[in-house]
Structure 1
Amino acid sequence: MSRTPVPRDRANDYTRDAATLRRDFLTERTGASLEHLGTYSQDPAMLPGNIEHFTGVAQVPLGVAGPLLVNGEHAQGEFYVPMATAEGTLVASYNRGMKLLYEAGGVTTTIVEDHMQRAPSFIFPSAREARAFSEWLVERFDDVAAAAEATTSTGKLKDIEQYSASRIIYTRFNYTTGDAAGQNLTGKATQAACEWIKANYPGIEQYFLESNFATDKKTSQVNMLHTRGKRVIAEATIPDALLRSVMNSSSELMFRARQVSNLGGFMSGVNNNGAHSANGITAMFIATGQDVANVAESSAAFVFAELRDNGDYYYSITIPSLIVATYGGGTGLATQRECLEMLGCYGDGKVRKLAEIVAATVLCGELSLGSAIVAEEWVKAHDAYGRNRP
């Protein structure tokens, strides 16, 4: 059997005609009707760098939750949050959490760390030679940084972590990357740095640009402790009376459920002792043109709660590896740009604002789902808004 590849237009593959050619080819080969894939407002000429074999557009329903009240250092005021999802009840749940925290005075957000990694490894004849290189790398940091930063106008090498095993030095090159998520930026910069190292340090048997220590597109303990992307904390204090009136719950019941949830998470070995941060993050990522696979790292979270002496409920969520961008990648696509503009987050100098809005949204969703569970409203909500209607 001979292979029949997807057709391409060698002269210009990013046109409506080229997309139509592929849809016709697929209809002939598979028998599927692709009418809706071919209905879109996106200009194919804008897509080089975003997609190959452009064939059409997968349309995801988009809803808006809000207003979300944020008391951040970069995001301040009210925001209406676009969320792209096919899961009924999701937008309604986040909207309910936003109502609760609006009445409680809003969500306070703080970014405490910000860097993106590439993690090359260097192999030597022996552990002692690896140790000598480790010491040299510390001494020549400024030269390594200069080689890396020569490839970028926005990236800055902050430091290089080192971890030794056998005759290998594993490193993590930590960068700030401006308004870009930075995976491509850090890859190019680190390759230039490694080539400079190889040219200036004899005795390296081999280096690999990525040793799987950056754990790109995978959650990991090292990134939860050391951060990949933005480390953002969202927190709020909710009066017991509000939990009772808005959520049909109470601070005491919520705190008791939190203790049970913490133990359950510990027993199961999860990377997140919260409820469903991936829901809100994924919906916002799709809406705003983020690299959705980064949800693997970005949805990791640490929840901490306190029952205050006066009955108030303090609740916080720390997202240690939130990877977002307001420039580059899919952020400039037509509908994604509109969603970022809705948040006031498109373009230069806006990435920390977006990170705070995402974290605040996650906090609202955690409190909403948590209260729905303890108030025994979870299944009822899915019956009313979801697809599991009788």
Structure 2
Amino acid sequence: MTDLKIPRDREDDYAPEPIQARQQHIRSHTGSALEHTSSYSLDPGTLAGNVESFFGVAQVPMGVAGPLLVNGEHAQGEFLVPLATTEGTLVASYNRGMKLCREAGGVTTTILDDRMQRAPVFSFGSAREMRDFKDWLDAHFEQVAAAAEETTSSGKLVDIQTFSVAKMLYTRFNFTTGDAAGQNMTGKATFAACAWIKQNYPAELHFLLEGQFATDKKTSVVNMLHTRGKRVVAEITLPSALVEKHMNVSTEKLFNARMRGQLGSMMSVTNNNGLHSANGITAMFIATGQDVANVAESSALYGFSELLPNGDYYASVTLPSLIVATYGGGTGLATQRECLEMLGCYGAGGVRKLTEIIAATVMAGELSLGSAVVAEEWVQAHDDLGRNRG
């Protein structure tokens, strides 16, 4: 039997020798030349904590869209937006939407909530024991919060939501996490809190650190209603003449299409009554070093539109669970840091600015694709620019 054990170095697995050993191991056993994946400009020594058994890189092409005009509380002015994607027409579509939004005066963005959670479940012998514990937990919140916050310099326990069923109490420990996304931070802090609870609660209890009620990296109604990450709104009012000029549709047709899409979204029971929020979010996540699996929650969207009495068009998107960071994770890696620096968002104090830029980007993309579908330009655009080319 062929030995496929991957070469590793217990002392320094990011040194040139173990990396080259893995590359040769892959070449020998697969026949792949690794001509491109083994070529990179980043320093492998910076990758500890980001990837194991490193052997190379995946190069994703990036395009730039903009300028995007944002009227936010943290992001103000025009931005050039990096989008990492292999989907033809994507950058062009977002660019078109950004042009429309800029001429209409820009996208207004507002962050409404900020929380990251871990969700322990506590188990008891009966429902009455569970009810007694809930009352005790409410009365001891300050001590629980103090125990949690001993593990972090930037995390703060905001509240503990409780949801009772049978003889179990499902909880959501909600934290603010500064400029980090915070999943690991909240896990460590919540475990410390639960340890304090178990030590100090005067009766028997059992807990699991995660009862799958935080729905980490999964779409869920609970996160859409109660927030995971940032809850942010992007909104704009578009003059009817401007929509017809740039999008070749009337605002009335755009609104009618929106109403039909609402019904289709309801029938399909989706997490999103928009069109393609995952496209822009994923492209920005890859470019800026976010945890791309968080697109599962982050792409959730509530879209709302109005056809105003004068024919103008009000549009908004609410992203209820946008999980982003400008510190920690992959944000400090070479290319990802450069993209965050393009946006003026790298490091401490940048996460709310990045949140607003992403929300405004999603708004531009929704308007562009929605108009293309109504104007029957969607398929032609993919024929001209995308992978439909035969």
TM-score relative to the length of structure 1: 0.99
| Alpha-carbon distance between aligned partners in 2 of 1:239 and 1:204, rounded to the nearest angstrom | 64
| Alpha-carbon distance between aligned partners in 1 of 2:3 and 2:258, rounded to the nearest angstrom | 55
| Alpha-carbon distance between aligned partners in 2 of 1:323 and 1:63, rounded to the nearest angstrom | 22
Is the contact made by 1:231 and 1:322 (CA closer than 8 Å) also made in structure 2? Answer: yes
* Offset at residue 2 of structure 1 (A): 7.1
2:342 is aligned to 342
Is the contact made by 1:243 and 1:250 (CA closer than 8 Å) also made in structure 2? Answer: yes
2:333 is aligned to 333
1:64 is aligned to 64
* Offset at residue 15 of structure 1 (A): 2.2
Is the contact made by 1:191 and 1:209 (CA closer than 8 Å) also made in structure 2? Answer: yes
Is the contact made by 2:247 and 2:368 (CA closer than 8 Å) also made in structure 1? Answer: yes
1:145 is aligned to 145
Is the contact made by 1:124 and 1:203 (CA closer than 8 Å) also made in structure 2? Answer: no
| Alpha-carbon distance between aligned partners in 2 of 1:15 and 1:87, rounded to the nearest angstrom | 35
SS at structure 1 position matched to 2:185: helix
* Offset at residue 16 of structure 1 (A): 3.0
The CA RMSD measured in Å over matched residues stands at 0.8
| Alpha-carbon distance between aligned partners in 2 of 1:374 and 1:208, rounded to the nearest angstrom | 49
1:129 is aligned to 129
Is the contact made by 2:4 and 2:29 (CA closer than 8 Å) also made in structure 1? Answer: no
| Alpha-carbon distance between aligned partners in 1 of 2:122 and 2:2, rounded to the nearest angstrom | 43
1:198 is aligned to 198
1:97 is aligned to 97
SS at structure 1 position matched to 2:190: helix
| Percent of residue pairs bearing the same amino acid type | 69
1:182 is aligned to 182
* Offset at residue 205 of structure 1 (A): 3.5
Is the contact made by 1:123 and 1:204 (CA closer than 8 Å) also made in structure 2? Answer: no
Alignment of 1:251-262 (within 5 A): 251-262=251-262
- Counterpart of 1:41 in structure 2: which amino acid? S
CA spacing shift, 1:3–1:169, aligned 2, 3 Å: farther
| Alpha-carbon distance between aligned partners in 1 of 2:382 and 2:2, rounded to the nearest angstrom | 48
Is the contact made by 1:122 and 1:204 (CA closer than 8 Å) also made in structure 2? Answer: no
Number of positions where the alignment pairs a residue of Structure 1 with one of Structure 2: 390
Alignment of 1:78-93 (within 5 A): 78-93=78-93
* Offset at residue 30 of structure 1 (A): 1.0
- Counterpart of 1:177 in structure 2: which amino acid? T
* Offset at residue 198 of structure 1 (A): 0.2
Is the contact made by 1:179 and 1:349 (CA closer than 8 Å) also made in structure 2? Answer: yes
1:283 is aligned to 283
Give 5+ residue unaligned stretches, structure 1.
none
2:49 is aligned to 49
SS at structure 1 position matched to 2:171: strand
| Alpha-carbon distance between aligned partners in 1 of 2:192 and 2:283, rounded to the nearest angstrom | 36
Alignment of 1:163-182 (within 5 A): 163-182=163-182
SS at structure 1 position matched to 2:235: strand
SS at structure 1 position matched to 2:315: strand
**Mean Cα deviation higher: 199-208 or 51-60:** 199-208
- Counterpart of 1:310 in structure 2: which amino acid? N
1:320 is aligned to 320
2:293 is aligned to 293
1:235 is aligned to 235
* Offset at residue 18 of structure 1 (A): 2.0
- Counterpart of 2:203 in structure 1: which amino acid? G
- Counterpart of 1:13 in structure 2: which amino acid? D
Alignment of 1:109-128 (within 5 A): 109-128=109-128
CA deviation map 1:67-106 (0-9, x unaligned): 0000000000000000000000000000000000000000
Is the contact made by 2:198 and 2:205 (CA closer than 8 Å) also made in structure 1? Answer: no
* Offset at residue 11 of structure 1 (A): 2.2
| Alpha-carbon distance between aligned partners in 2 of 1:385 and 1:33, rounded to the nearest angstrom | 31
* Offset at residue 3 of structure 1 (A): 5.8
SS at structure 1 position matched to 2:319: strand
- Counterpart of 1:242 in structure 2: which amino acid? L
